[in-house]
Amino acid sequence: MQLDGTDGVEVLGTVLTSVQGVLVTVSLVAMMTAMGAKLTRGDVRRTIREYNLVLRWILANLIAVPLFGILLGVVFGLPDSVIVGLLLVGVAPGAPFIPQLVSMAGGNSHEGIRLTAALTIVATVTVPLLVAATLAVLNVDLGFSPWPFLVPLLFFLVIPLIAGGVVREKRPDVARSVARRLTTLANVTLLLALVIVVLLDLDGALRILAVLFGTGALLVMALFVLASVLIGWLTGGPTPENRRILALGTAGRNVNIALFIATGAFPASNADASIVAFAVIMLVVSLLVAWYWKRNP
């Protein structure tokens, strides 16, 4: 049996879609295992005791930032594909590069790891529920159900984090080496997944890019990142270091989780292309902020 050109393209598209899903999942698992391998029991106990700080983290990342994202979507009348992409990154906190940003800004990178791990665990439950609730508020009907995503997120986020922590407790020397390799794996697989998003529908990606430029949505995304920095700064607590850590942690949205939801729930919405555009803007703006704080401690 031979395939004509159209059938061949469809088969290739199906294969790339499956590969993209696998890459996103591998990136999530590797990221969380690496993070767990950098944490100790003392970190966990300290995070639990510092409930006031954790509440600030949650207020900034799971309430203030998603609400601001909704406000931007409504005020600027963005297309549904952009709104969904902005929504997914808005409700998904805990970017894996937060510790590197904190270190670049002259802060304690280990505090960035604690922040990222805590936010990601909370996101396991809150992300699907917040997506469903926000879509209902915005009256965007995409037939999304949060329940099929709760168990997979628990499996791919919390269990690898615990596994990494176990390795850290049993073999700290091995954990350091494993964490480095898994961080590299997480970054590479995420980058490949982002590339495949573009390759799967190049015309669609170009149309989304034209929409982003034509509607000013790229500027809206940049505004969203800067506002996230400000939200984190204002809620970060009394010390400048805590404010800077939370500011960078709030600006860093978890593109891995956003793509995981977009791939599974909104494959035809072009939301993943919007997430790719946002990831670039987020990284550029966050690096500029961290560089500025490094130069102006």
The residue extents of the domains of the chain are 5-295
**Which pLDDT value is given to residue 212?**
65
**Which pLDDT value is given to residue 142?**
67
The residues near 172 (Cβ < 8 Å, ≥ 6 apart) are: none
pLDDT band at 273 (very low <50, low <70, confident <90, very high): confident
**Which pLDDT value is given to residue 236?**
86
The residues near 186 (Cβ < 8 Å, ≥ 6 apart) are: 26, 27, 28, 30, 31, 34, 96, 256
CB 118, CB 36: distance < 8 Å: no
Mean pLDDT for the chain overall: 84
**Which pLDDT value is given to residue 231?**
95
Question: What is the C-alpha to C-alpha distance for residues 30 and 24, in angstroms, rounded to an integer?
Answer: 10
The mean pLDDT of 247-272, rounded to a whole number, is 84
* Torsion sign over Cα 173, 175, 178, 184: negative
The more confident residue out of 111 and 134 is 111
**Which pLDDT value is given to residue 232?**
94
pLDDT band at 260 (very low <50, low <70, confident <90, very high): confident
The more confident residue out of 294 and 140 is 294
Is the pTM above the cut of 0.85? Answer: no
Name the residue with tokens 């982003």.
212
Q: Buried b / exposed e across 163-175, counting CB within 10 Å, b at 16+?
A: ebbebbeeeeeeb
pLDDT at 126 over 60: yes
Question: What is the C-alpha to C-alpha distance for residues 178 and 112, in angstroms, rounded to an integer?
Answer: 19
**Domain spanning 5-295: CATH 3.20.20.450:** no
The mean pLDDT of 113-133, rounded to a whole number, is 86
